[in-house]
Structure 1
Amino acid sequence: MAADARLAPWRQRVEAALETALAASADTGSARLHAAMRHAVLSGGKRLRPLLVYAAGAATGADETLLTAPAVAVELVHAFSLVHDDLPAMDDDDLRRGRPTVHVAFDEATAILAGDALQALAFEVLAEAPVDAALRVAWLQSLARATGAAGMCGGQALDMEAGGRRIEVAELQQLHALKTGALIRSAVRMGALAGGAGPGVSARLDDYAAALGLAFQIRDDLLDIDGDSASLGKTAGKDQAQDKATYPALLGRDGAGAALAEQVARMRDALTGWPGDVGALEALAVLAVERRS
């Protein structure tokens, strides 16, 4: 698995499109709210999820011009989730991507509204995408399911319920398959939908995405132990301080490393023998498991 030269220009395209989407939404309403939305979105980040939209599109032969709307939408939902995740009622964090979190930089009520508005904007972007109506509906369905009680929000609820109690590894995997994995799977699925992927192709890509989601979370758990706040851009050691269920807490550091290697093998197996272009998907797998922040 090697680097892919397309990631940087795709990232630049996403940044420009996010700026455009936020600017278009700022014509009316509260200037403070719009400033909070910009603070949440335009503060750097890996842009893994929008890059996965493009990479899955490349793997299935999608027209690249179709992919910007779902790439922007999935990143807006991700940004909304981080704003709410950092709130005092949830993970209660003051630092995100090396900057004060939205509720610290503005206030808690503005942060809640900014998250709500970013989620609404994501679906507006998809609903207005210049593609066939059937594809728009399929994208909307995928992202909505990944965002709600059957996906990210449901996983966040399980994470909060698991705090301070002992859970089994299977329960932890289910928690993160929803909280982290659902949005990653939707990103891949939306790219594949643009490429007209059939059930067999979609199943292989979903297996890749599920493994990537778990690998990303395991690496996140390990970085919480090994990293520092300056390099992570968020508070290090927070999971242990809050007695949260994590892979190292359940399996030990070596066991978590072995679990990460298992997910890397799953991703490799899902892409082995692929008839199309999986270079970008392979590069993003490396990014997820070798990142330092």
Structure 2
Amino acid sequence: MAHPPTSQAAEAHWHQTGEQHRRLIDSTRSLEALTTAVVHPCDEPSLAGALAAWREGIIVPLLVGPRHRIEAAAEALGESLDGLTLIDTPHSHASAERAVELAAQGEVEALMKGSLHTDELMSAAVDRRTGLRTERLMSHVYALDVPSYPRPLLISDAALHITPDLAAKRDIIQNAIDLARALGISQPRVALLSAVETVRSTLPSTIEAAALCKMSERGQIRGGVLDGPLAIDNAVSLAAARQKGLGSEVAGQADILIAPNLESANMIAKLLIHLARAQAAGLVVGARVPIMLTSRADDAETRLASAALALHLARVTPAPDDAP
């Protein structure tokens, strides 16, 4: 995925909501579908999303949950579950545990959240004995399709790490870079956000941003170009960056926004969704398999985009030895 021209014309960009995500979904045509445990799809939206991803050839679903509730949701949708595997469990907690077990045993390649709470699924996934931990922390990445922005915009971490320390931020950044590279961005531009663009002893996020940039220079973070601290206007607006005299490769044209904490990441994402008509897909990265986290309010296209993210991450991510 080539970067758009870095001219002032980018400031006037506008595309239809969901256009970038539709291209993402279409780009999965040549990829083998992911065998996916759909965890507790006991309401109509979550089951419909899984079936839509199946029909698009993105996933091969194994439905994990109470059989009678899944079948009732299918009946309400007017759908048939013929030809699909359904693994019966008594309740949502058991659904999460069974799905994680399937992933740990290599029987599925991804997890898709259904109508259970995120905490239930993630508690099973991070269990130190039976979960899906790796040497890297898991983190959540929003992939936003913002109509006024000329490229996909990744934001992290807006769901898992409340106040990440420096080591956690290193993993959060690396996870986001790996996802961006799987989407075809060969060297993602990573903006480390704060309220200002200069390092200040009174703003810890500016000190951490500077340290993370140095860690990248020394090879502790690989595959992307980092800059920070940057205020958000200088991260996404070339005009704002130029007014401040910021001429870095990242300023004004970030692919990835790394927020100081969960609250700020969540606020940025939700503001873009509700005020800028952004469409948001979500994925947990850093586990042994991709985990698609969707909201009950997500529409079918958003659920498809989350599945497409997982498929790209599983099938396209370069091997570690190939990373720059």
Larger fraction in helix: 1
* Structure with bigger gyration radius: 2
Larger fraction in strand: 2
